């Protein structure tokens, strides 16, 4: 048995249930971006020294396999799409609220790169946002996927941003984008 099946040599890939599609299909781009996100989170986790964030990241990586499967499984597949339930989204939301409540985490916009680990989480966040945009495009094109997929990705990108800020705070790094002496509006949730 080899992973080199050669069935994809012509530019197609197989979905669950035996459906073959182009590797350039928007659906493949969307779940492929989730695969990229899982790997990016693996790198962030590998260099993260905070045990709580490390463990949460590993749990999220496993959840993302389920989310990607829910996207890549055709609706007509006999095995059915795995459900992405409210509890997955709610757990991320609770984590977001807990970190937001930490003093000094929500001070301002952040300039990625003050700390290698926080920068790794910022890269993962941007990949997550791309996956979210791709899913919105699929929905606008008429794809009928579970609404919690979008909710999950949206909440996850918030959490990944907060992981970066929490790590910077723990490391005593100032990644504030703006010079406080120049005034102007502070960080805004509108981004």
Higher pLDDT, 99 or 73: 99
- The 8-class DSSP code of residue 15 comes to P
pLDDT band at 191 (very low <50, low <70, confident <90, very high): very low
Q: How far is CA 149 from CA 29, 32, 60, in A?
A: 15, 15, 13
What pLDDT is recorded for position 185? Answer: 56
Which residues are registered as beta bridge partners of 110? 176
Q: Does 145 have pLDDT greater than 70?
A: yes
Average pLDDT over residues 128-145: 94
- pTM across the whole model: 0.86
Spell out the domains of the chain, with CATH numbers in brackets.
20-74+82-172 (1.20.1200.10)
pLDDT tens-digit profile of 39-63?
Answer: 999 999 999 999 999 999 999 999 9
What's the length of the chain?
191
Q: Name the DSSP class of 12.
A: E
Is-contact 44 126, C-beta < 8 A?
A: no
Q: Provide the pLDDT confidence category of residue 77 given band limits of 50, 70 and 90.
A: confident
């Amino acid at each position: 048995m080899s992973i080199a099946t050669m069935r994809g040599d012509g530019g197609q890939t197989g979905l669950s249930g035996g459906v073959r599609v182009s590797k350039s299909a928007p659906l493949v781009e969307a779940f492929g971006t989730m695969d990229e996100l899982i790997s990016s989170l693996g790198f962030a986790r590998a260099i993260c020294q905070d045990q709580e964030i490390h463990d949460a990241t590993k749990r999220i990586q496993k959840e993302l396999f389920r989310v990607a499967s829910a996207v890549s499984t055709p609706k007509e597949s006999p095995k059915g799409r795995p459900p992405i339930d409210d509890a997955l989204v709610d757990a991320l939301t609770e984590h977001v609220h807990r970190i937001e409540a930490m003093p000094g985490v929500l001070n301002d916009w952040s300039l990625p790169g003050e700390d290698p680990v926080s920068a790794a989480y910022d890269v993962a966040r941007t990949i997550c946002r791309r996956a979210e945009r791709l899913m919105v495009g699929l929905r606008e094109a008429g794809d009928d996927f579970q609404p919690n997929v979008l909710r999950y990705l949206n909440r996850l990108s918030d959490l990944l941003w907060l992981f970066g800020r929490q790590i910077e705070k723990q490391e005593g790094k100032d990644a504030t984008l703006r010079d406080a002496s120049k005034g102007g509006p502070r960080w805004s949730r509108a981004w």
